A = this chain, B = another copy of it.
Amino acid sequence: MNDHDTPPSKAAAAVEIDSVSKVFNLGKPNEVHALDGIDLTIDDGTFVSLIGPSGCGKSTLLRLMGALTHPTEGSVVVNGKSADQARLDRDYGMAFQTSGLFEWRTVTQNIELPLQLMGWDKAQRKERALEMLDLVKLAEFGDHYPRELSGGMQQRVAIARALSFRPQLLLMDEPFGALDEMTREHMQTEVLEIWEKTRKTIVFVTHSIPEAVFLSNRVVVMSPRPGRIAADISVPLGRRNFDTRESQGFFDSITEVREALRFEGSTR
């Protein structure tokens, strides 16, 4: 096993989720038990994927970590403090399925958005934006508007934006869901490269088994409503490269995740 699979030695917990349940519309006729008794600890610097059938609560779990919604029961601790505090401390960045770029801002201005909100001055913002553009290999496109970029390029900008203020924790909800398979594989490689460079903790929601397996140290498989953790599979593939996708280990992990999912999916 090589570097890819080893979390940094300090192994502090980036996220600690303790018997969390989430009920929407509590007490109303349209009550939904989205999550039920979730326990999950994510170590600092790991790349964790959440996978599960549609509606099983992946996004809800991610949003709980980001303090965009609050648990009905249980607690969410991020970097040793409450999720809300972490949000106010700007401890994490987010990226979604649709790139969510602001079409009225250029690429650079989009990347500068969080910095601007945090009150950075112009020169600092400029500098950081250039650095980020380099990271995602879009240096020439700083002055373009999002509509002039392809879907994959837009996603890279969104990732650059999420990373621009160096958050501790990156939350990504199906960021490549809208891309075609070829572009998607390409983006996966890029994200891994970025992850290897920055070693941020990444929580990544996806529907694609190969994607989850290719990217993460750990795949958390969820069962449908009420969402529970059905399996927690570690992926010992080592440093990824072109051949990983055709390796036996890759296919084995895929089969393992598929089995876990099929078992859960059968309740539908």
Kindly identify, within residues 209 to 236 of chain A, every residue whose CB is under 8 Å from any CB belonging to chain B: 209-210
Decide yes or no whether A258 CB sits under 8 A from chain B.
yes
> Restricting to A72-121, which residues have a CB under 8 Å from any CB of B?
none
Q: Which residue of chain B has the shortest Cβ distance to A212 in the bound complex?
A: B181
Determine how close the nearest CB of chain B comes to the CB of A22; give it in whole angstroms: 20
Which of B180, B183, B207 contacts A182, CB < 8 Å?
A: B207
Q: Give bound CA distance, A208 to B210, whole Å.
A: 11
Q: Determine whether the beta carbon of A246 is less than 8 Å from that of B258.
A: yes
Which B residues are in CB contact (< 8 Å) with A208? 181
A18 to chain B, nearest CB (A): 28
Q: Mark A127-162, 1 if CB is under 8 A from B, else 0.
A: 000000000000000000000001000000000000
Number of interface residues of A (CB under 8 A): 20
Question: How far is it, in angstroms, between the C-alpha of A245 and the C-alpha of B265 when the chains are bound?
Answer: 16
Does any Cβ of B come within 8 Å of A24's Cβ? no
Q: How far apart sit A180 and B222, CA to CA, in the bound complex (Å)?
A: 14
With contact pairs A245-B258, A246-B258, A258-B245 given, residues A183 and B251 touching in the complex (Cβ less than 8 Å): no
Instruction: Determine the residue in chain B with the shortest Cβ distance to A262.
Output: B242
With an 8 A cutoff between CB atoms, is A41 at the interface? no
* A175 at the B interface (CB under 8 A): no
Q: How many Å lie between the Cα of A23 and that of B211 in the bound state? A: 36
- Please pick, from B53, B54, B182, the residue contacting A54 in the complex, using a CB distance under 8 A: B182
Of all chain B residues, which has the CB nearest A209? Answer: B181
Given the complex, which residues of B lie within 8 Å of A262, measured CB to CB? 242
A265 contacts which chain B residues (CB < 8 A)? 182
**B180–A53 CB distance below 8 A:** yes
CB-CB under 8 A from A258, the residues of chain B are: 245-246
Question: In the complex, which residues 180-200 of chain A have their Cβ closer than 8 Å to any Cβ of chain B?
Answer: 180-183
**How long is the Cα–Cα vector from A53 to B183 in the complex, in angstroms?**
8
A108 and B9 CA atoms in complex are apart in Å by 61
Which residue from B53, B207, B251 sits with its C-beta under 8 Å from A251? B251
Chain A positions within 8 Å of B, measured between CB atoms, are 53-54, 150, 180-183, 207-210, 242, 245-246, 251, 255, 258, 261-262, 265
Given contacts A53-B183, A54-B150, 18 further A-B pairs with CB under 8 A are A53-B180, A53-B182, A54-B180, A54-B182, A54-B183, A180-B207, A181-B207, A181-B208, A181-B209, A182-B207, A182-B261, A182-B265, A210-B210, A242-B262, A245-B258, A246-B255, A246-B258, A251-B251
